[in-house]
Amino acid sequence: MSGSGVTTARRRLIERARGRVPATTARAAALLGAVLSLASTFLAWSYGSAFPGNLTIYGYPGGAQVYVLVLALVAIVLLLLEVSPLRRVLAPGGAGGAVRVLASGVFLVTAFTVLAIGVELGGLINVEWGGWAALLAAAVFVVAGRLLPDDRPAVWSYRLPDWVEFLIIALVLGLALAAFVEALAIPEWEIFLCFLVALGGALTAAWRLGLVSWISEVGTRHRGVTVTAAFLVAAAFPFTQGSDNHWLNVMVNVGIFATTAIGLNIVVGLAGLLDLGYVAFLGVGAYVGALLSGAAASTIGWNPPFAVTVVIGAVITAIVGVLIGTPTLRVRGDYLAIVTLGFGEIFRITVNNLDGSTGPQVTNGPNGIPGIPDLKFLGIDFGQSHTVFGMNLGYFANYFFLELVLMAFVILVFSRMNNSRLGRAWLAIREDEVAAQAAGINTFRLKLLAFALGATLAGMAGTIQAHAISSITPDSYQFLNSAFLVAAVVLGGMGTVTGALLGSVVLLLLPEKFRFFQDNKLLIFGVTLVLVMRFRPEGVIANKRRKAEFHEEEISEELGREARAEGAR
């Protein structure tokens, strides 16, 4: 039996079970499971205190127990809401789907914690009776949750006063920053994984309730306020780290990667050109920044102001993009991917050979350019910590703020291009190049423009990267980095800024948090890629056009159901 057949049979089995169990009984069972799961967090789950969170204390939830408590508490509130007059306002489509998601989250966190206690402490004998009671309660909760009646599509159509919606936008972004900082502050990978499961469950439950769609609608209605608030919240991140440079350094690298990914999104997401050598443009910009930095290893004695360096890096990278794109864009599809892959390798080999021995002395070959000095821009020494609003910030905060400014510029360029006649022409080329050419679009010229513009943005990011990492070598720009850039765009959602940002954050932050799996990083990355492409082929944050392409049958079925319901009325 195929995978779709198994899924259909399981769905029918669940539907028959729901038909035999009254909705009131299912809600009572789910409420019992949620209450028991919440109560189990006040029990000891482990005999050994070495497990992260110290789950040996009665009456004091710790570690993963906190996430079980929160999910169970929210589920209890939703189940009580089902029988209250507020249901029509807060859960117009019903809360069954949200409770099922929360129950799954409770079970996953509980089962993983019990299994991890057994593995890390030397056997399941180290699981105290409270852990088994918690697992049993979670099993009851998840089974009862599957028997809850299906909820209808939830639509929140509330329009609040503008100042209230502004406060909601600020509150949501503030909570996002708090959750992000909390995730970075978790040192143990076990608890961090449970945090991700709990956070994913909470967000999915909010989506099933219609809350996420409504918040997205509010943000779209006040796009300018949302974008401004998002950058203000991002600028507040360094103040949560103080003088600690570790996560600031990581986030600077994430910002450079994300800025480059947004530039690639013009090439891949808008114009539909699969570029597997895009990291080479980042390398061109980085080498320009390093050679003009005044470093002792630089072979160019000129050290212009950084603003001039950025312009020079952008121009040179654009020229390289045009020179490479002119012959390569004559081909399409898989052939274009292979040619761009070759270009990426040509760049790496070329800078390796410009060492004064096998070629001119320009890049110092495999040794690269070390000792790149910190920026001195607008009278600010980026290598020094500064006190802002009475708080001492680590020196990487300087690069973070600079990268934030560049990212704002890149997002502005991408948004303007996406909403322009040029952007619509790129989309037409992506959908059907032959049809676009028949409609009078000069496809080659527009593809070359997309290639050059994407290269320009990557080159600008590279000039900052040279100073931020203080040393560049050819090995920093291998094919694997291009593959990660493409994966960030595809996983996050092609053609969207938020998708590229999310993909970049996930691909760079998760390996940093899961250093325990460093040797199997590529294996985990591959499994994640397969799962996302199987269950969310349009990307995590997809635009409406891509979502419609991948879910055409589901949309048709939904429209058919709505038409039949309208006819019955």
CA distance 506 to 487: 11
Q: What is the 3-state secondary structure (H, E, C) of 486-519?
A: HHHHHHHCCCCHHHHHHHHHHHHHHHHHCHHHHH
CA distance 67 to 61: 9
Query: What local confidence, expressed as pLDDT, does residue 6 receive?
Result: 45
The pTM of the full predicted model, rounded to 2 decimals, is 0.84
Which class does domain 243-535 fall in? mainly alpha
Query: Which tokens hold the place of 109?
Result: 């966190």
Indicate the pairing of strand 380-381 with strand 391-393: unpaired
CA distance 202 to 541: 17
Nearest to 279 by CA among 127, 406, 465: 465
| Residues 6+ away with beta carbon under 8 Å from 338 | 276
Distance (Å) of CA 269 to CA 218, 363, 366: 25, 33, 34
Query: What local confidence, expressed as pLDDT, does residue 385 receive?
Result: 82
Nearest to 98 by CA among 80, 120, 119, 122: 80
Q: In a structure prediction context, what are the per-residue pLDDT tens digits for the chain, which is 569 residues long?
A: 444 444 555 455 555 555 556 778 888 888 999 999 999 999 999 988 888 888 888 988 988 999 999 999 999 998 888 777 766 666 666 778 888 999 999 999 999 999 999 888 888 888 899 999 999 999 999 998 888 876 665 666 778 888 888 999 999 999 999 999 998 888 888 899 899 999 999 998 888 888 888 888 888 888 889 989 999 999 999 988 877 788 888 899 999 999 999 888 888 888 888 888 888 999 999 999 999 988 888 888 788 888 899 999 999 999 998 888 888 878 877 788 888 888 888 898 988 888 878 778 888 888 888 988 888 888 788 888 878 777 888 888 888 999 999 999 998 888 888 888 888 888 888 888 888 888 888 888 888 898 899 999 999 999 999 988 888 988 888 888 888 888 888 888 777 888 888 888 888 887 777 776 666 667 777 777 787 777 777 777 766 666 666 555 555 555 555 555 555 55
- Enumerate the β-bridge partners of residue 376: 381
| Domain assignments of the chain as residue spans, ordered by start | 19-226, 243-535, 544-569
CA distance 28 to 35: 10
Distance (Å) of CA 383 to CA 3, 172, 214, 240, 470: 56, 34, 44, 20, 11
Query: What local confidence, expressed as pLDDT, does residue 456 receive?
Result: 92
Query: What local confidence, expressed as pLDDT, does residue 214 receive?
Result: 85
